[in-house]
Structure 1
């Protein structure tokens, strides 16, 4: 089936329609659609609107509260906690991040803990939103157990991503968002959906053997990147975004799911740093030092993290995005407005 060209506006409206048609409150749907369309816009297919299928599945399990009202707890001068009330994470982040930035500007460093949230999307949209307000930020979440520790053969960790952002005087921020697993789980799902093999160093099967079959990989365990180094970072994420903030580790999240196949439910930790408070009168000179580092990277032919995403973003803003006709049809089938079509609703 041919690809379908769509405008970003159409895609956002379709995403909101899919979510609200399946029981999600409009405020949550708007926040979640923004994140998923951003992934599609930046050509991060594994974190784009394909994940709407998983959102709908999660809504239908009954585990998620589609009309949850996040509760804010102002714990300390440098700490705010938001109880997501078992709803999706983007709206609690939007609410909590405003307080987080205010606290960071007063104290130099502050933390946001989001509890009881269903989180499955990329972290870089959150980090970019903070960098746009002039703060550096670090975010991390566990997920469902699907990754074996280095030297192990059974799932224990989640993909446990870490994201970091640094604001820059001009242009886009310095941002990276990486799983501590060798690859994002969504990439294996996309290979399975497309009937493609995966590299045999991404995962092991349920007998602990390397596999290039995505079906066997999904039944086995993914591998950490960098062996023991990635494994140590994965354990760090489990601790900081789990017991530290009073929430579930990946194994507990999987048990909470009870085999229903919903999105992972756990906590998220976000730490913000205000360079102007840390640097004081020298903040301007420190920013120049950071720019010298970036210039040194690109000056020898290397690229900055997320450069490919930002280039894709420029293309998508100008020309829209493409979806497979199959995925577009799947999304239409989940929406109330099944009479939507690309030509009538913003085909680019």
Structure 2
């Protein structure tokens, strides 16, 4: 289902999931692994997170083709304690490694009430909210994080020493929308600045600095400089915390040990992730949780809006609303991304 517009096209979730699966199969993944990758990225597009959706076929595909990502990794899950797992992604594509780690954490949480998976040997794994949604739909509250390529200077420093290290939280709501918070430690992701550069647009001077540490509205200068952390020195501290859990404790790379996927696409990044899950069914009945979650949201929604055009929302509502709308009306996808997916899909074996 395609739009008549030249700049956008709309496609069904099923079509894009199938096309994404074949595209990643064409890039060398096993069909069952490619399906998991496509599911995460299509969910990102459903949420409206185009910078972290199927558009990632460009960077993921480049690295798969030059050997920077292993298309068929031997991912190993090691249980080091009843509720604690270590996952070695063997330099696999990030969404696949992320899904294996999430599954390991869910299995541990089902057994013990809580489950933790610390992951090494991975790559960029997309946004966090798709994993949080999968966990929430299965009844698990979650805290999920990843480290990233260095783009932020230490507070008071003058060169990039840490990444924007995203972190996300999810809490299930039986019969309602889960709470989903997904945020990077920078004011914005570099992908938004890259997109502004492609469109020839300026950026707010609160997003990044140039190479000399001065706020800039020039996306090219920002890409040569540093991202600004949220909340000043507090955001800096949170970014370090995420990297300690995702990188250092997971035995992955951390801080400047993380390779840049754009500067060295042929080299493994050894990114780390962490998945901390709580089985909410151990805490009370689904009716108990549903009542409390409904009351929680109602308290927030009941606050009179300062701007009548912008009512109070609970984190995740915007994304879940987009998900429902695009499942009904079709997913907006950049034509260049669709064409790239078709090119890679054409390389897949006909039986895949």
- TM-score, with length taken from structure 1: 0.89
Deviation, 1:128, is: 1.1
1:164 paired to 2:169: yes
Match for residue 55 of structure 1?
A: 60
Distance 1:329 1:96, change over 3 A: closer
Match for residue 325 of structure 1?
A: 335
Match for residue 215 of structure 2?
A: 210
The answer (yes or no) to whether the contact 2:152–2:163 under 8 Å persists in 1 is yes
Distance 1:221 1:32, change over 3 A: same
1:137 paired to 2:147: no
Deviation, 1:245, is: 1.8
1:311 paired to 2:321: yes
Match for residue 336 of structure 1?
A: 346
Deviation, 1:263, is: 8.3
Equivalent runs, 1:86-235 vs 2, <5 Å: 86-235=91-240
Structure 1 residues 290-340: Cα deviation after superposition (integer angstroms, max 9, x where no partner): 4322211112141011211111111111111222333333443444279xx
Task: Tell me the secondary structure at the aligned position of residue 81 of structure 1.
Answer: strand
Partner Cα separation in structure 2 for residue 239 and residue 96 of structure 1: 18
Partner Cα separation in structure 2 for residue 258 and residue 308 of structure 1: 34
Partner Cα separation in structure 2 for residue 302 and residue 81 of structure 1: 40
Task: Tell me the secondary structure at the aligned position of residue 269 of structure 1.
Answer: strand
1:297 paired to 2:307: no
Deviation, 1:77, is: 0.7
Give 4+ residue runs of structure 1 displaced > 6 Å after superposition. 255-258
Partner Cα separation in structure 2 for residue 63 and residue 337 of structure 1: 19
Match for residue 344 of structure 1?
A: none
- TM-score, with length taken from structure 2: 0.88
Partner Cα separation in structure 2 for residue 66 and residue 92 of structure 1: 11
Distance 1:308 1:261, change over 3 A: farther
Pairs aligned (count): 336
Task: Tell me the secondary structure at the aligned position of residue 102 of structure 1.
Answer: helix
Deviation, 1:120, is: 3.7
Paired residue for 2:250, among 245, 265, 279?
245
Structure 1 residues 72-129: Cα deviation after superposition (integer angstroms, max 9, x where no partner): 1111111012211110133333334333223223333220112201124001111111
* Bigger shift: residues 3-12 or 32-41: 3-12
Gaps of 5+ in 1: 339-348
